[in-house]
Amino acid sequence: MSKRHTSLKDLATELGVSISTVSRALKNHPDISPELTRKIQQLANERHYTPNPLAMGLLRQQTKMIGVIVPDINTHFYSSIISGIEKVAKEHGYFIVISSSNESMQKEIESVDNLLNSRVEGLIVCLSQETDEFSHFHKLIENEIPLVFFDRVCEDLSVPAVLANGEEATQMITRHFYENGCRRIAYISGPGHLNISRNRKIGYLKGLEECHIDFDPQLLVNCNLSIEEARLATQQLLQLPNPPDAIFGMNDTIAFAAMIEIKKQGFKIPDDISLAGFTDEFHSIVVDPPLTSVSHPTFEMGKAAAELFFELLVKGENISKRIVLPIDLVVRQSSIKN
């Protein structure tokens, strides 16, 4: 079995002084004489003493842990956000415990419970796709336990959140398509109860209006965020009597699934159909043709979420702040018709 870490008691016994003396000496308390302080600190160094975080936690009633719930850890989008969170958490001496909801509301509820039972000091969460009911967050709000949402938020709850400006993004994409000669611009959206779906749809409609294109309901299709449904949605668009000349998907899964399906059906990108999506740089470059995409500021988003979290933690009050991060439209070959 692994040996115990050295404790204050160990040092105290070895030096024949009391525990409190050792404790004070290690933080240079003036009550302790210089020589004794030196002796104690030296031994502490030799024994590699570090305070036991469990004992400290018990004393201070804090665990230095933040719970993070994501729909799926297994994508660049979330893992990059997690990196951002982890960075600022570490700077504050905190560490993060990650729990994946797998896009299931049931698992999300369990995660909240588990993390709370593990005494995390608060939660940073991105709602699962299924989540349309929010009572599992009530106890956090009532007890003023820090909680911040990112990307997917609940509009009804006054919870601080950080999100990307999806509305502006989709509006930009729509306009970009228009300026490149597209007139039948289709949009594959996600589930309607997700705020990100709604916002992006709004931007899409605004963009159409701006370009004086009438909205054609046939060109707006919904899907959940799975590859299969995204492919089906694409098929549906391609089979239209008057198919679109541009498609954009609301996240990278959809965009890539659409790309596969479009190619499979023999359409050329971008000549027959322009394509754009929301995704990160690496994947956009590696596909053929390189994908025009909105680059999410994922790392920044994680950082912002964590900073918001710590603001909550120290201030205590429930500052209901909402941070909207700008996005970037990176134009690549998939949307430039020859």
Partner DNA sequence: AAGCTTTGCGAAAAGCTTTGCGGAAATTTT
Partner DNA sequence: AAAATTTCCGCAAAGCTTTTCGCAAAGCTT
Question: According to the binding rule CB under 8 A, does residue 320 interact with a copy of itself?
Answer: no
- Provide the minimum distance between the beta carbon of 49 and DNA in the complex, in angstroms, as a whole number: 7
Q: x/- contact string, 55-94, with DNA (CB under 7 A)?
A: xx-xx-x---------------------------------
Q: In three state form, how does the secondary structure of 255-280 look?
A: HHHHHHHHHHCCCCCCCCCEEEEECC
Q: x/- contact string, 8-27, with DNA (CB under 7 A)?
A: xx------xxxxxx-xx-xx
The separation between CA 279 and the C-alpha centre of its own chain, rounded to angstroms, equals 14
Contact region with a copy of itself (CB under 8 A), list: 76-84, 171-179, 208-216, 325-333: 76-84
Report the residue from 8, 22, 98, 250 that binds a copy of itself according to the rule CB under 8 A. 98
Question: Could you tell me which residues come within 8 angstroms of residue 146 by beta carbon, excluding any fewer than 6 positions away?
Answer: 121, 122, 123, 309, 312, 313
Q: d(Cα 28, Cα 152) in Å, to the nearest integer?
A: 47
Q: Give the binding-site size for a copy of itself (rule: CB under 8 A).
A: 49
Question: According to the binding rule CB under 8 A, does residue 45 interact with a copy of itself?
Answer: no
- From the list DNA, a copy of itself, none, which binds 7 (C-beta under 5 to 8 Å, kind-based)? DNA
Question: According to the binding rule CB under 7 A, does residue 1 interact with DNA?
Answer: no
Check if the beta carbon of residue 219 is closer than 8 Å to that of residue 188.
no
Contact region with DNA (CB under 7 A), list: 5-13, 156-164, 176-184, 301-309: 5-13
Question: Could you tell me which residues come within 8 angstroms of residue 281 by beta carbon, excluding any fewer than 6 positions away?
Answer: 295, 330
Strands (E), the chain: 65-70, 95-100, 123-125, 147-150, 161-164, 185-189, 220-222, 246-249, 274-278, 292-295, 322-325, 328-330
Check if the beta carbon of residue 217 is closer than 8 Å to that of residue 250.
no
Site residues, a copy of itself (CB under 8 A): 1-5, 50, 52-55, 57-58, 61, 63, 73-76, 79-80, 82-83, 86, 95-98, 100, 117-119, 121-122, 143-146, 227, 256, 259-260, 263, 282-283, 285-288, 316
